[in-house]
């Protein structure tokens, strides 16, 4: 959930959002939707201009309510693995040197693989998404990475609710949802700084490519998970 619909958010979501906004206080994360596009940082543009796609995927997945049992949880992890693995492999082919991003420390597919195996599933036989969003330049790569990194923010809240529901069963199966642990806030801030640094040094066409790719990543991920 993003701005202006806080009254419809369940308590837990409002609480995590308030925490995140507090932790972003040194970088002005909370922006007015009236801020002109050209004066927004690239990270702020991403947040504002992908809001419809975020709202759509959040509504479509209906997490964490849609996870009622171990089968639901394993299916969701399989879906993420089938999307993140090929996309991360494509992103690893880009040259991130000097961008402030160490992609290897941000990979999610290895965490999901561990969780799938703990759930008794074979990660190697999980189908992989054949249609990836645009990811052949650094600008496009930043757009894809934005979606995967941002998902860790909502993931923390989903993890909290699943922990209550599944109790001990979840232990050892939640590396993805516990991604970054107590460093989640600082990893997100570093990511935003890297995006803004990239945005300051690139053309406006490349900035638009970042946004375009982020929106496409949301849409492809939703289409893949809903298939």
Q: Which of residues 108-167 bind ligand HEM (CB under 6 A)?
A: 146-147, 150-151, 153-154, 157-158
Q: Which of residues 182-211 bind ligand HEM (CB under 6 A)?
A: none
List the one residue from 46, 76, 107, 162 that touches ligand HEM (CB under 6 A): 46
**CA nearest to 175, candidates 110, 219, 95, 220:** 110
Q: Name the residue with the smallest CB distance to ligand HEM.
A: 150
Based on the shown chain and the rule CB under 6 A, indicate whether residue 103 belongs to the binding site for ligand HEM: no
- Which range binds ligand HEM by CB under 6 A, 53-61, 102-110, 131-139, 165-173? 53-61
List the one residue from 17, 106, 113, 209 that touches ligand HEM (CB under 6 A): 17
Residue 201, burial from CB neighbour count under 10 angstroms (0-12, 13-18, 19+): exposed
One character per residue 55-74, x = contact with ligand HEM (rule: CB under 6 A): --xx--x-x-----------
CB of 61 to ligand HEM, least distance (A): 5
Q: What are phi and psi of 67, to 5 degrees?
A: -95, 100
176, containing H or E segment: none
Alpha-carbon distances, residue 141 vs 31, 48, 98, 100, 211 (angstroms): 24, 19, 14, 13, 10
Instruction: Please tell me the distance from the alpha carbon of residue 214 to that of residue 52, in angstroms, as a whole number.
Output: 12
In the chain, at which residue ranges do the beta strands (DSSP E only) sit? none
**Do residues 188 and 149 touch, judged by C-beta distance below 8 A?**
yes
CB of 60 to ligand HEM, least distance (A): 9
CB of 45 to ligand HEM, least distance (A): 10
- The sign of the CA dihedral 124, 90, 153, 208 is negative
- Which range binds ligand HEM by CB under 6 A, 16-24, 71-79, 105-113, 132-140? 16-24
Q: Which is nearer to ligand HEM, 123 or 157 (CB)?
A: 157
**CA nearest to 87, candidates 141, 15, 164:** 141
Binding site for ligand HEM (CB under 6 A): 1-2, 13, 16-17, 20-21, 46-47, 54, 57-58, 61, 63, 146-147, 150-151, 153-154, 157-158, 221
């Amino acid at each position: 959930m993003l701005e202006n619909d806080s009254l419809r958010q369940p308590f837990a979501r409002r609480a995590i959002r308030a925490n995140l906004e507090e932790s972003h206080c040194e970088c002005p994360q909370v922006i007015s939707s009236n801020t002109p596009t050209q004066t927004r940082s690239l990270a702020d543009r991403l947040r504002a201009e992908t809001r419809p796609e975020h709202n759509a995927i959040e509504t479509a997945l209906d997490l964490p309510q849609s996870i009622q049992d171990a089968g639901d949880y394993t299916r969701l992890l399989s879906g993420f693995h089938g999307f993140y693995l090929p996309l991360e492999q494509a992103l690893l082919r880009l040259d991130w040197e000097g961008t402030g991003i160490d992609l290897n420390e941000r990979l999610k597919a290895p965490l999901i693989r561990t969780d799938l195996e703990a759930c008794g599933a074979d990660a190697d036989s999980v189908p992989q998404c054949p249609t990836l969003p645009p990811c052949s330049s650094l600008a496009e790569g930043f757009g894809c990475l934005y979606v995967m990194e941002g998902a860790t923010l909502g993931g923390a809240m989903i993890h909290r609710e699943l922990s209550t529901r599944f109790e001990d069963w979840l232990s050892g199966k939640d590396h993805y949802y516990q991604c970054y642990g107590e460093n989640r806030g600082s990893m997100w801030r570093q990511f935003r700084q890297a995006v803004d640094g990239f945005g300051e040094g690139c053309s406006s066409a490349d900035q638009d490519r970042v946004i375009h790719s982020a929106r496409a990543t949301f849409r492809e991920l939703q289409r893949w998970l809903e298939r």
